[in-house]
Amino acid sequence: MTDSRVPRRRRYLVCEPRHFAVQYAINPWMHPDVEVDVDLAQEQWQELIRTYRAHGHTVDSVQPVAGLPDMVFAANSAVVVDGRVLGSLFHAEERRPESVHYDMWFKQAGFAVHRPESVCEGEGDLVWTGRYLLAGHGFRTTREAHREAQEFFGRPVISLNLVDPYFYHLDTALFVLDDSGDGNNIVYYPEAFSPGSREVLERLFPDAVRATREDATSFGLNSVSDGRHVFIAPQAEALAGKLAERGYVPVAVDLSEFLKAGGGIKCCTQEIR
């Protein structure tokens, strides 16, 4: 069974945590009085990049900018499907300037960037499943941005209501295991969603893997899958076990220092499709 899971080579966009810090609190994980160990953060992040490359993935990076401590969370800066780039408009004033730098990177890399008019936090809330964009709202990205995304991509956008402030971005409560036609599947933590949104997920993905609150609080839902390998927090042991039973290969990467800002593996990784 294990050998039936086929990885696909990915292109990831990241940003080095040179200026990473917790200087303001815009989610319940952030406490500005808690010190960040920048050297440890750098080591953990470098290990993530080495791991991606060792698994055959391409990694591009945006230059970090002083004074933008959350810029390391590349996933929030755009969502790219079929070479179409929808940029971001951050909810928090502190993060708004990040967009300028990411948009510039995309332009230099040959992509046109469509700017949203309403608050929209990229892959933090807009998750491409291979068929639809699942789209979170409730804390950051607005329903108006979901409408904009559907119009821009011409793909069905399924709005999902997030209800737990600890799981303020969709990518903290759900990730895509397999975005191919046949195997298309996700993992999610049901309690992070309103009852109606939970039902929508059950209907769309009856075979999904359900995660526990422990998996979610250790940022196990903030994982990245290439279709075979799942890059996942080592603390999410129960979830890693379930994934292995389904024939996936969990690859543990510890980004514990980033948890202090409410981020994990997926937050640090944007996929360019």
Q: Which is catalytic among the residues 91, 137, 146, 169?
A: 169
Q: Please report where in the chains the tokens 């927090």 appear, as a residue.
A: 233
Return the number of the residue (21 or 243) whose C-beta is nearest ligand ARG.
21
Q: Which is nearer to ligand ARG, 5 or 145 (CB)?
A: 145
CB of 6 to ligand ARG, least distance (A): 26
Using the minimum distance from each CB to ligand ARG, give the nearer residue, 85 or 261. 261
Q: Which is nearer to ligand ARG, 141 or 185 (CB)?
A: 141
CB of 76 to ligand ARG, least distance (A): 5
CB of 8 to ligand ARG, least distance (A): 21
**Footprint of ligand ARG (CB under 6 A):** 26-27, 30, 70, 73, 75-76, 95, 124, 169, 171-172, 261-263, 267
CA distance 196 to 24: 33
Q: What's the Cα-to-Cα distance from 119 to each of 48, 63, 67, 150, rounded to whole Å?
A: 29, 24, 21, 15
At its nearest, how many Å lie between ligand ARG and the CB of residue 58? 20
User: For the chain, how big is the Rg over CA atoms in Å?
Assistant: 17
Closest residue by Cα to residue 246 from 202, 217, 211: 211
169 catalytic per annotation: yes
Question: Is 268 considered catalytic here?
Answer: no
Q: Which of 57, 146, 229, 267 is catalytic?
A: 267
CA distances from residue 124 to 36, 74, 88, 156, 170 in whole angstroms, order as listed:
22, 9, 10, 18, 6
- Nearer to ligand ARG among residue 5 and residue 95 (C-beta): 95
CB of 245 to ligand ARG, least distance (A): 27
Nearest to ligand ARG by Cβ — which residue? 267
Q: What is the DSSP string of 207-270?
A: TPEEPPHHHHHTTTTS-EE-SSEEEE-TT-HHHHHHHHHTT-EEEE---GGGGGGT--TTTT-E
- CB count within 10 Å of CB 92 equals 14
Active site residues: 169, 267
